[in-house]
């Protein structure tokens, strides 16, 4: 009768399919959650803040007036880059927390 003992293997296959479907649903829910979770990257002691979703969509930017010096635009540019990179790093951490189990499975 083979390795599966008749139709006994079919129950296992159905169980595996149910598990795969649940895992896919869980993965989609986690991806949806990433689009609503927000992280904030800062620089200059909070003078510049970048807000983005955990799926890396920019949703906000805040610059305190004291960060704006017309004679030193380069400093503001550097603060923006640093805050953006901080937010990206935080988004990566959140994504790894939410999606890590799925990537370990190769999904």
What are the phi and psi torsion angles at 91 (to 5°)?
-65, -40
Q: Name the residue range of residue 66's domain.
A: 38-107
* Domain assignment present for 62: yes
* Domain assignment present for 106: yes
Q: What is the pTM of this model?
A: 0.70
* Domain assignment present for 9: no
Q: Give the per-residue pLDDT at 28.
A: 85
Overall domain count for the chain: 1
Written as one string, the DSSP assignment of 56-80 is --EEEEEE-GGG--TT-HHHHHHHH
Listed residue (60, 66, 74) closest to 46, CA to CA: 66
Written as one string, the DSSP assignment of 19-37 is HHHHHHHHHHHHHHHHTT-
* Domain assignment present for 22: no
Distance CA 83, CA 46 (A): 9
- Check residue 76 and give left, alpha or beta (phi > 0: left; psi -120 to 50: alpha): alpha
Q: Give the per-residue pLDDT at 39.
A: 95
What is the percentage of the chain residues whose pLDDT exceeds 70?
Answer: 85
Residue 78 belongs to domain with CATH number:
3.30.1310.10
* Domain assignment present for 72: yes
Tally of CB atoms within 10 A around 43: 20
* Domain assignment present for 5: no
* Domain assignment present for 90: yes
* Domain assignment present for 15: no
Query: Tens digit of pLDDT for each residue in 5-47?
Result: 555 567 788 888 888 888 888 888 888 888 898 999 999 999 9
Mean pLDDT on 53-71? 94
């Amino acid at each position: 009768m083979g390795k599966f003992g008749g139709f006994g293997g079919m129950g296992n296959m159905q169980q595996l399919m149910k598990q795969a479907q649940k895992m896919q649903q869980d993965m989609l829910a986690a991806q949806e959650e990433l689009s609503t979770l927000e992280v904030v990257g800062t620089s200059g002691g909070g003078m510049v803040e970048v807000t983005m979703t955990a799926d890396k969509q920019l949703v906000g930017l805040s610059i305190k007036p004291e960060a704006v010096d017309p004679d030193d635009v380069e400093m503001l540019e550097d603060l923006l880059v640093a805050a953006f990179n901080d937010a990206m790093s935080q988004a990566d951490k959140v994504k790894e927390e939410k999606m890590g189990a799925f990537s370990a499975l190769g999904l």
